[in-house]
A and B are shown apart, each in its own frame.
Chain A
Amino acid sequence: MKETIEFLNQNIQMIYIVILMIFLGIEIIGRVPSVLHTPLMSGANAIHGVVIIGAIIVMGKAEPGNYVALVLGFLAVVLGTLNVVGGFVVTDRMLEMFKSRNPKEEKKSENNK
């Protein structure tokens, strides 16, 4: 019991973030039209590609002789990059098709130019 309270106290900032993010995540996509479900899923998929940061840290920390960490870390960097790059490129490719077919949107982008 004491340990649990201590643990909660030590990580109270993280716990705040977790709780707020849960509500924010739900709130943000609550009103998404079904047209955008696939791009949204794909975009969310790209965002969890932030895991690449962890891969870079694990790789950068690895000591020269520690082959387990070096090899697995390297693999993690490759896979994480795949996730983040592939995720954003695919999402952009999907949305690109939406954009040019939407006359309102075309007008907007013309105005921007």
Chain B
Amino acid sequence: MGTSILSICYLIASVTYIIGLKMLSKPSTARRGNLIAAGGMIIAIAGTIFLYKYNGKGLGNYEWIFSGIIIGFIIGVLIAKKVKMTAMPELVSFFNGMGGACAALISIVEFDYLYREHRMMDATLFSDVVHSGHYLAIIAGTIIGSVSFIGSMIALGKLSGKIKDYSFKGQHLFNIIILLLVLATAIFTYFSSTHNVNIPFFITVGLALLYGLFFVLPIGGADMPVVISLLNSFTGVAVACDGFLYDNKAMLTGGILVGAAGTLLTILMCRAMNRSLMNVLIGSFGGDAHKASGTKSEHENIKEISLSDAAMLMAYSKKVMIVPGYGLAVAQAQHTCHELEKALEEKGVDVKYAIHPVAGRMPGHMNVLLAEADVSYEKLLEMDDANEEFKSTDVVLILGANDVVNPAAKNDPSSPIYGMPILEVELAKTVIVNKRSMKPGYAGIENELFYQPKTSMLFGDAKKVLQELLNELKSI
């Protein structure tokens, strides 16, 4: 009886995941969708704790289970509530890494059971103890989970600027060799007849961790969103492997659903940058970019604009378009930006925001930030609409965005970002660029836009500059 109820719990949970994801892809239902999926999750968890039976027995170790859940719950809520919204991509990466580690640990413990069983027998092949399908699920869960865990941690470090890009000659070959070694030791473990099958298994785990490390390390920091999305789908697959192992439909459906949706999301993100996933993963970005920036530094005719001039220019224009970028997020300037928007509107200026799909560190990053600062939803234009409106725009104010407005993506076939759709800000009458310095952007590419005659620069921290602009505006 209990087991059949549990199956129904899992069925309900699976349906809520599907409905939840579906609702998450529409702005009006997204929040409810998330809550529905969370509700399904609670049903699945409670059902597992109280109804799960294996070999006719219920689960034990309740004190461990509950204390683990309580600890995880408290830490999880604290982190999720305390961390600033600008650090959101890091958060997603962190929680994803935890899921990957959890999936790997489950597989490792399951392996340990088999290992003990195998040890008791004399000189049999490990493959005689374990069913090939189960071994495949265990080893795949371990490898993918480990890669996802370590990769997410590296991505987290890169996003917060603690880990620098690192690559060496022949890295791709090195990665392929490690990957082959991972597979080789995994197969060796299966056909091993020694008592100590745990040794090749743990070598496999170690190599998988190493692979995860070298898989993410060379990829440029600007591509981290793509990597996180990919690792997210990896974790999904690892979870599905564990679900297969336990013949657990809730884990299987949840894992595969995320694996498939995550992969598509990754491809959509790559497409927004007009690059292939291969191109991102092989990570030729960083290397080429430095060369490209070297050849173009002969331009020196940048024009600076004073704060009062900039304020005057905007106050007396009809339409101002704001292009937010990572600089805005770093400076936490979204509230000041909204203040400026309101001040301009009071003077009768039409203010809108042009949002590039990959502005910031994650697709949709800017939308979330601006939403936090009360910016109205209708003021945010997606790329195509924005590009239409630039023609009739008087002033474009670029706040810490760089690569997404770089005309090289359109004009210069040798540029590493060539072909990426950009916000065509040069269609507007004037462009004001706020940046901290002339240092090239995250991708390390020189931006020609800054040297064009209609562009003027406004150096400084986004928040400080916006505050001063606001003061100037009020005194006009």
Contact: A82 with B72, CB < 8 Å? Answer: yes
Contact: A17 with B264, CB < 8 Å? Answer: no
Contact: A91 with B34, CB < 8 Å? Answer: yes
Interface presence of B76 (CB below 8 A): yes
Instruction: Mark out the residues of chain B between 198 and 255 whose CB falls within 8 Å of any chain A CB in the assembled complex.
Output: 228-229, 232-233, 235-236, 238-240, 242-255
- Pick the residue among A39, A77, A83 that contacts B68 (CB under 8 A): A77
B341-379 CB mask vs A (1 if < 8 Å, else 0) is: 000000000000001010000111101100110111110
- Pick the residue among B85, B109, B258 that contacts A76 (CB under 8 A): B109
Interface presence of A22 (CB below 8 A): yes
Contact: A98 with B92, CB < 8 Å? Answer: no
Q: Provide a sorted-by-A list of 20 A–B residue pairs whose CB atoms are within 8 angstroms.
A: A14-B244, A14-B252, A22-B260, A26-B260, A33-B382, A34-B357, A40-B265, A43-B21, A44-B232, A45-B96, A47-B254, A50-B17, A53-B248, A57-B59, A58-B109, A68-B112, A76-B101, A82-B76, A87-B95, A103-B377
- How many chain A residues sit at the interface, stated as a range, is 35 or more
Contact: B27 with A36, CB < 8 Å? Answer: yes
Binds A, one of B47-55, B175-183, B321-329, B434-442: B47-55
Instruction: Mark out the residues of chain A between 37 and 74 whose CB falls within 8 Å of any chain B CB in the assembled complex.
Output: 37-62, 64, 66, 68-70, 72-74
- Pick the residue among A24, A54, A55, A105 that contacts B257 (CB under 8 A): A24
Q: In angstroms, how far is the closest chain A Cβ from the Cβ of B272?
A: 7
Top 6 nearest A-B pairs (CB, nearest first) are A81-B72, A60-B59, A25-B260, A77-B68, A85-B76, A37-B363
Contact: A70 with B362, CB < 8 Å? Answer: no
- Pick the residue among B31, B235, B374 that contacts A95 (CB under 8 A): B31
Residues of B near A99 (CB, < 8 A) are 31
A-B contacts at CB below 8 angstroms, number? 381
CA of A25 to CA of B371, assembled, Å: 27
Residues of B near A12 (CB, < 8 A) are none
Contact: B239 with A50, CB < 8 Å? Answer: yes
Binds A, one of B37-45, B300-308, B390-398, B454-462: B37-45
Contact: B260 with A95, CB < 8 Å? Answer: no
Q: In angstroms, how far is the closest chain B Cβ from the Cβ of A22?
A: 4
Q: Which residue of B lies closest to A68 (CB)?
A: B112
Total B residues in contact with A, Cβ cutoff 8 Å: 119
Q: In angstroms, how far is the closest chain A Cβ from the Cβ of B153?
A: 12
Instruction: Mark out the residues of chain B between 99 and 116 whose CB falls within 8 Å of any chain A CB in the assembled complex.
Output: 99, 101-103, 105-106, 108-110, 112-113
- B: residues with CB less than 8 A from A are 13, 17-18, 20-22, 24-28, 30-31, 33-35, 37-38, 41, 44-45, 48-49, 52, 54, 58-62, 64-65, 67-69, 71-73, 75-77, 79-81, 85, 88-89, 91-92, 94-96, 98-99, 101-103, 105-106, 108-110, 112-113, 132-133, 228-229, 232-233, 235-236, 238-240, 242-265, 268-269, 272, 355, 357, 362-365, 367-368, 371-372, 374-378, 380, 382
Further 14 A-B residue pairs, CB within 8 A, beyond A36-B30, A80-B102, A98-B27:
A14-B244, A33-B25, A43-B37, A45-B96, A47-B41, A50-B254, A53-B48, A54-B242, A54-B243, A57-B48, A79-B101, A81-B73, A90-B80, A94-B368
Interface presence of A101 (CB below 8 A): yes
Q: In angstroms, how far is the closest chain A Cβ from the Cβ of B360?
A: 9
